[in-house]
Structure 1
Amino acid sequence: MDLQTAFFGTLIVFLMTELALTWLWLQHKSHYQGLFYLPLASALVGAASCLIVFRQQIPDWASIILANLLLFQVPILARKGFAAFFGLTTSRRFSYLLTTAAMLAQVYLTYIQPNLTLRLHVYGLVFSVLTGQLFWLLTRSVPQYYCKQLSPISLSLAVMVVGLIARSLSLVLFPLRDTDQLLDRNVDAYFILAMMGFWILFTYAVMILVSRRLMDEVNLERMKFDTMFYQSSDAS
């Protein structure tokens, strides 16, 4: 399977997940904060995939620089969304500084000293760090009560980081030739397919999280009502 075919499959998957996450936001936007950032993140992945698919027809600044910039925003937006969802305050200064440094490196490795391997390593490292920040938020900053509900999302993030590490290892075990292009390697196609699986798992986990939180709130309100009812019955 070539990488362009994998990216076209990615576009279809992200269209489906975009619709699911947008529906989730529209259903609960008046009740929960932060859900808007999740379909926005999915849209950025889809846009970046389009830019990469048409790399041979569009300039490098769009297919490489802009595409990477959009992808780096995905874990940042997801972190912002989950922080708002749980009412947490987070600082994104380090994330933006890291993204800026990564983009400068991408420009250098694209135009000044072209090196596809180093570019892929920079992307993998930076995206892993940004994803790790989101993982830390969900496993350390969120109230303990929600840890069980968040475990599917945390698992999907861990799978993402492992996938990025595996891709970096593949670049070491199967080095790129000077003539290689990003769209030439089958191993990268399978990496893209793995990322598709990650995003499906992530979307499903988010929908389960919102559903469970709604059920918990309904059960809590029912318990309050039952308590008030029995207290009023005892008083009479």
Structure 2
Amino acid sequence: MDMRMIFGIQTMVFLVCFIILTQEWIQHRNRYKGLSFWVAMMICGFAGYTLIALRGTIPDFLSIIVANSLNILAFALFYTGLIFFFKVKAHYLHNIFIVITAILVFIYFTYINPSLTVRIITINITYIIIFSQALYLFICKIKTCQKSMSYIYIINISALIILNIYRTIMVFLDNSGNQDFFSQSIHENIYFIINMIVLMYLMINLAMLVSRRLLHDISEKEEKFNTIFHNAPYAALITEEETGIILEVNKEMLDLLGYERSEVEGRTVFDLEFYPDASSRNKLIEIVRKK
């Protein structure tokens, strides 16, 4: 597969995920603070991979310095977004120093002492550092109740770390001295194809993470409500507003009525003569609404 095509595909993935996450950000930005970082991540990733794909047709400053810096910044934002999204205590400002250091290395080994090998190793080591932080976050920092949604990311990020270690070793052992980024060894081609697939999977799952988190939060709140409802020291029941059908009833209410659960749930409050007529219930509903 052509290298430019790989970067082109990755660019489109960033664009699609940017659109999805922007919609999620508009709806849930106040609930989940990390979304802003992920939207920024997609912008950086899209711009970075686009500039790399254009290498050779635009100035090296854009296709090397700016492009690689944006890509590193993108994954630093990914890590920061995780911290805020899962509301965990972790350091992230040090990644600014990592990004700046990488930029300086890119500048030196692009203009002063040109070396594609050093630039590749630099970006790989930077990725390994950032992804390792994200992996540690998922394994050690995220709450136990949120672990169920994190396993897929642990596998995904672990794969990215292994891939970048593999590439670092292969580049370090390569003595060809090739300075053409788009004309690399078979190892580089293998790396980019697998890396593209893994990154695509990560980006898509990241875009879906908000939905998973919402479902998790709803489930958690329902569980808390059910615990409070069924353990309440007073009689309580839940009904449909329009029909008065009893949806759920707690033990205290069953004891008060002297019925089994199956005899109550599914019937209406009028069947059990809670109200003399529908108008009495409607008046009570209006009073509750006003409060």
| TM-based fold match above 0.5 | yes
Q: Which residue of 2 aligns with 1:168?
A: 168
Q: 1:89 to 1:225 in 2, by over 3 A?
A: closer
* Partner Cα distance (1:145, 1:229) in 2: 21
Q: Which residue of 1 aligns with 2:180?
A: 181
After superposition, where does 1:210-229 map in structure 2 within 5 Å?
210-229=210-229
- Of all paired residues, the percent bearing the same amino acid is 24
* Partner Cα distance (2:140, 2:202) in 1: 19
- Tell me the CA shift for residue 17 of structure 1: 2.3
CA RMSD of aligned residues (A): 2.2
Normalised to the residue count of structure 2, the TM-score between the two structures is: 0.72
Q: Deviations over 1:91-144 (max 9, x none)?
A: 334222222222211111111111111111111111211111122122212223
Q: Which residue of 2 aligns with 1:52?
A: 52
After superposition, where does 1:81-100 map in structure 2 within 5 Å?
81-100=81-100
* Partner Cα distance (1:38, 1:93) in 2: 16
Bigger radius of gyration: 2
Q: Is the 8 A contact 2:17 2:203 kept in 1?
A: yes
Q: Is the 8 A contact 2:117 2:172 kept in 1?
A: no
Q: Which residue of 1 aligns with 2:285?
A: none
* Partner Cα distance (2:224, 2:134) in 1: 34
Q: Which residue of 2 aligns with 1:145?
A: 145
Q: Is the 8 A contact 2:10 2:200 kept in 1?
A: no
* Partner Cα distance (1:219, 1:94) in 2: 36
Q: Deviations over 1:7-48 (max 9, x none)?
A: 122222222222233233333223222112113212211111
* Partner Cα distance (2:166, 2:125) in 1: 12
Is it true that 1:115 corresponds to 2:115 in the alignment? yes
Deviates more, 1:200-209 or 1:34-43: 200-209
Q: Which residue of 2 aligns with 1:25?
A: 25
- Tell me the CA shift for residue 217 of structure 1: 2.4
Q: 1:58 to 1:222 in 2, by over 3 A?
A: same
Corresponding residue SS for 1:90? coil
Aligned residue type for 1:19: I
Normalised to the residue count of structure 1, the TM-score between the two structures is: 0.88
- Tell me the CA shift for residue 173 of structure 1: 4.8
* Partner Cα distance (1:21, 1:146) in 2: 20
Pairs aligned (count): 235
Q: Which residue of 2 aligns with 1:130?
A: 130
Q: Deviations over 1:169-190 (max 9, x none)?
A: 3324544434x41012264344
Q: Is the 8 A contact 2:68 2:123 kept in 1?
A: yes
Which residues of structure 2 form unaligned runs of 5+? 236-251, 257-291
Q: 1:207 to 1:16 in 2, by over 3 A?
A: closer
Which residues of structure 1 form unaligned runs of 5+? none
* Partner Cα distance (1:186, 1:9) in 2: 20
